[in-house]
Structures are given as structure tokens and as C-alpha cells.
A = this chain, B = another copy of it.
């Protein structure tokens, strides 16, 4: 045991309990960097992850980040008792998983509990996630992991009401299906507590789109209130703390471009809101998460199987993901397009088809006949629009919002065809790159509006798409990318050579991570 004086670092450690020891004190205690110490101050104590330094934190002092400081009620220069502590037992489970050993229910739960409470270091979390990448989760592990992720977060209790939900595994730009589907389904009397994410790798997440129309950062109680009132909601998952382990996993998955937790990540959030019937949208195409029909079918089986074990009925919709849905990419442009489709001011057939098909699936899963026709009818008669406006009001937005009220970027430039022909190829990943360079999703008014889609005729000089930005500098960034890499290819006949590789260049492969 050692007595040390605290030095407050005045920095947060990303939710983790971390303390900094001088090298000499660490040696004296017999702990190394990423080892663990028990820190005690009066009646408060905790086990912290050790960082060591030869400078800055002097011998006899201990550097403490905000999380541990708050927990231990520490002030500058307090005296604390410090002793070496064994690392959490969950680390042994992670070490075993690294060797390919499958995890039991108890082991899984221990890992997730320690993860969520900030007890695992970045090295340990990364090792766990990469072990799931190397030795893929089997169905038992996925089940245990999903349940552990649910149990370590908030849950929504709607008192036994029948609950439906929908989720897309992502990867297709402009996918504003949820903005139509939720009000359609709710207008039919079903309860759909839709929580959505913000964009990670895309130009807009559903939460980003919905936020153009209404506040989305609701807590669980506010969410329940909206659902009681309207039967539907479209809220941001981040403020709900459903399955919060997932956010920690994303911190590792994103920089490594791996996604071994896709199934538990999605399923745990559906379970946390108490869903009974779920439709999973799996956009399939060269630039989406799932590339082939075969892959999609395997993944669909896993979803259905996992759902069954968690007492959820799941159906999957394998949808065409070869080009953007509708014509708008970017939060505000997409919100406007969705609203116009709901109001009957325009008909984007692919969007309407997706929304009514999947709404129909949910309706039929709950025992109704003619689901798709019902969904279409609800959309056509304006009942869906009315329901969306109810949801907007309940979430605190302006229910009278008109499409022209939605601000899109003032800085615009049209990309025009340099030859006549038809659109032969739309490269979603390049459109997403350009929309992000233009400022999306952070600048809500930034994005892309497609004037021509696959198979549509173009004359030389016709506008193919318009880039929107809120800031002139960002428009320039997007334009310079658009000039370098052609996102929409126009030709008279299919050209078979897509790319010629003559020299070694750093690989650029699109990685889709959306939750």
C-alpha cells in the first residue's frame, strides 16, 4: 500500500477509470502500464487502469482523470491510498477468446458489464473486438452478447403493447425510407418506437434526417410519451442509452474497418425497445454492406435465427442497393424529399416501393391481410402525412412545416454531362464522399440532388446532379473531388473495363459502418 497525493488532470478518459502513476511508484507497487490499482479515499474506492509516465506526474503523486475524480470526490492534493489490484476477471475471458475459445453466458456478461462501466482498457477492448472478427460469433455467443448488451443499458417498457420495428443495415445513400414507414405503420394503429443513429460513414443517418423536421434527442421517458400519444416516433438512439456497449465497440470497429458485432448490435437495440416483430432491410449491391444475394441470404438466416432466440419474430427484406434511394442525399434534402412524397407532391417510386413493401411486411406479420395495399392506401390518402405531423408535434417540432421551409445549402453547383447517352453507372461511394466533403451530415443543408438515375437519358450539357453546401469552401472541396472522380457514368453502351490498374496505389475500399 502506498499513499499518494492527487493531481487532477482535468480531462475525461472516455468513460474509463484511469489513473497515472510515476514510473518509480508503479515499479514500487509492482504494476505496469494497463495494470490495475485500487484507489481509496475515505469511504470511496474504485479500481483504476494504470498509465505510467516518467515525467509530468511526479513521484508520490497520482494523476486522476475526471471520471475517477468524480467517483472518489477528489480535490487537488488530496491523499489517497493506492494498492495493486488484480485485473478484472473479464480480461481472462478475453484472453481465452483471443485463442478461439467460445464464451459462456456468464463470461459474456462479465465482459460487457466491465466494458460499459469503463473497466477495460483500449487494448483489451480492441483485443476482444478483433477476436470476434477472427473467430466469428456463433449463434449462442451472439445470443448471449445481445442479451448482455440489453441488460447493461436502458430498456423501454410499454406495458405489454405489441411492438413492431424496422432497421436497415445501411450502405445505400439517400435512404429516407424510415421517414415514410414509421408514420405509415403508426397510422395503421401499430406501435413503432424507432430509434435511429446519426451517420458514421454515410452522408446522413436517419437521426440526422429526422432532426431537420423535429428534435430527436429524446430520453426514454420522453420517447414513451410520444409513443403513447402517436404510436410512433423517430428519435436518436444516442440519448436513449439502449445497449450502450455498442458505442464503445464502434470506437474500435470504425478505425479498423471491421464490423464483427453487426448482429448483436442491431438485435440488442430492437430487444431493448421490446420489439415483437421486426423487419430488417438489407440493401444489396457492390457498394453496400452486403455485396451479393448469397451473402444477404446467409445474413438473413442469422438475423431470423437470432431473433427467434430472443423471442422476436424477424423478417428480412433484401433490397436493391445499386444506386441511391430517391434523388436526394444529405439531411435537409432528404427530409424535404420524404415530406414531399408523404404529401403527394412528388412520387419517387423506389422510395415509395421500399417504404410500403416493408410497412406491408410488418402489417402482415401482426396478422393483417393485404399489408402492402393498406400501406399504399394510408400513404395515398394523406393519413401517413398526418401521422408524421402528429409525431413532429409530439417530439417538439413544427407540425405545420412545409417543404419550402426546409433550408438547403445556398452554395450550389451543377455537374453536367459531357456526352449524350444514358446513365450506366452510379457510384454511391463517390456520391457519399462528395456529399460529406460538401459538409454533410454536420451541415444539414449540404448534400447532393440527383437529376438523372440509372437508365435515364441525358443530352450533352444536361445537369446530372447538383452539389449543395452551406459554406463556399466546402463546395469547393466537393467540386474538386467530383472533378477527379466521376460518380455518375454516362455512355451509349456499357463499357466493360471499369478501371485500369497500372501502378500500385494505396487501396481505397468503402467501409460501411452504420448502426
Q: How many copies of this chain?
A: 2
Tell me if A34 and B251 are in contact (CB < 8 A): yes
CB-contacts of A40-88 with B (<8 A) = 51, 53, 55-56, 63, 66, 87
Residue among B35, B121, B131, B254 making CB contact with A32, cutoff 8 Å? B254
Contacts of A91 in B (CB 8 A): 255
For the complex formed, measure the closest distance between the CB of A256 and the CB atoms of chain B, giving whole angstroms.
5
Residue among B11, B51, B133 making CB contact with A98, cutoff 8 Å? B133
Known contacts A92-B507, A442-B27: A10-B56 contact under CB 8 Å: yes
Tell me if A34 and B254 are in contact (CB < 8 A): yes
Interface residues on A, range: 35 or more
Contacts of A123 in B (CB 8 A): 122, 126, 251-252, 255-256
Residue among B27, B92, B126 making CB contact with A122, cutoff 8 Å? B126
Per-residue interface assignment for chain A, residues 492 to 511, with 1 indicating a CB less than 8 Å from any chain B CB and 0 otherwise: 00000000000000110000
Tell me if A251 and B126 are in contact (CB < 8 A): no
**Bound CA span A27–B439, Å:** 9
Per-residue interface assignment for chain A, residues 102 to 126, with 1 indicating a CB less than 8 Å from any chain B CB and 0 otherwise: 0000000000000000000111101
Per-residue interface assignment for chain A, residues 84 to 102, with 1 indicating a CB less than 8 Å from any chain B CB and 0 otherwise: 0001010110111010000
Per-residue interface assignment for chain A, residues 437 to 462, with 1 indicating a CB less than 8 Å from any chain B CB and 0 otherwise: 10000100000000000000000000
Tell me if A122 and B124 are in contact (CB < 8 A): no
CB-contacts of A210-261 with B (<8 A) = 251-252, 254-258
Tell me if A256 and B122 are in contact (CB < 8 A): no
Tell me if A34 and B255 are in contact (CB < 8 A): yes
Tell me if B12 and A55 are in contact (CB < 8 A): yes
For the complex formed, measure the closest distance between the CB of A281 and the CB atoms of chain B, giving whole angstroms.
25
For the complex formed, measure the closest distance between the CB of A118 and the CB atoms of chain B, giving whole angstroms.
15
Contacts of A256 in B (CB 8 A): 94-95, 98, 123-124, 127
Known contacts A55-B12, A133-B98: A30-B436 contact under CB 8 Å: yes
**Residue A28 at the chain B interface, CB threshold 8 Å:** yes
**Residue A130 at the chain B interface, CB threshold 8 Å:** yes
**Residue A291 at the chain B interface, CB threshold 8 Å:** no
**Bound CA span A33–B13, Å:** 12
Tell me if B122 and A12 are in contact (CB < 8 A): no
Residue among B28, B51, B255, B437 making CB contact with A121, cutoff 8 Å? B255
For the complex formed, measure the closest distance between the CB of A511 and the CB atoms of chain B, giving whole angstroms.
9
**Bound CA span A96–B257, Å:** 10
Tell me if B66 and A124 are in contact (CB < 8 A): no
**Residue A20 at the chain B interface, CB threshold 8 Å:** yes
**Residue A481 at the chain B interface, CB threshold 8 Å:** no
Known contacts A11-B20, A122-B123, A122-B126: A506-B92 contact under CB 8 Å: yes
For the complex formed, measure the closest distance between the CB of A121 and the CB atoms of chain B, giving whole angstroms.
7
Contacts of A30 in B (CB 8 A): 436-437, 442
In the complex, residue of chain B having the shortest beta-carbon distance to the beta carbon of A130: B130
In the complex, residue of chain B having the shortest beta-carbon distance to the beta carbon of A198: B27
**Residue A368 at the chain B interface, CB threshold 8 Å:** no
**Bound CA span A10–B7, Å:** 12
For the complex formed, measure the closest distance between the CB of A25 and the CB atoms of chain B, giving whole angstroms.
10
List 14 interface pairs A-B (beta carbons < 8 Å), by A numbering.
Answer: A11-B20, A11-B53, A12-B56, A14-B33, A28-B442, A30-B436, A30-B437, A34-B255, A95-B257, A98-B256, A123-B252, A124-B255, A126-B127, A127-B256
Other than the given A55-B66, A123-B252, 20 more pairs (CB < 8 A) read A10-B56, A11-B56, A11-B63, A12-B53, A12-B56, A14-B51, A30-B436, A30-B437, A32-B200, A34-B255, A87-B255, A95-B256, A96-B507, A121-B255, A122-B126, A123-B126, A127-B256, A130-B131, A131-B134, A134-B134
Give the top 10 A-B pairs by smallest Cβ distance, nearest first: A126-B126, A34-B255, A134-B134, A130-B130, A27-B442, A122-B122, A123-B126, A89-B506, A127-B256, A95-B257
Q: Could you tell me which A residues sit within 8 Å of B by CB distance?
A: 1, 9-12, 14, 20, 27-28, 30, 32-35, 51, 53, 55-56, 63, 66, 87, 89, 91-92, 94-96, 98, 121-124, 126-127, 130-131, 133-134, 200, 251-252, 254-258, 436-437, 442, 473, 506-507
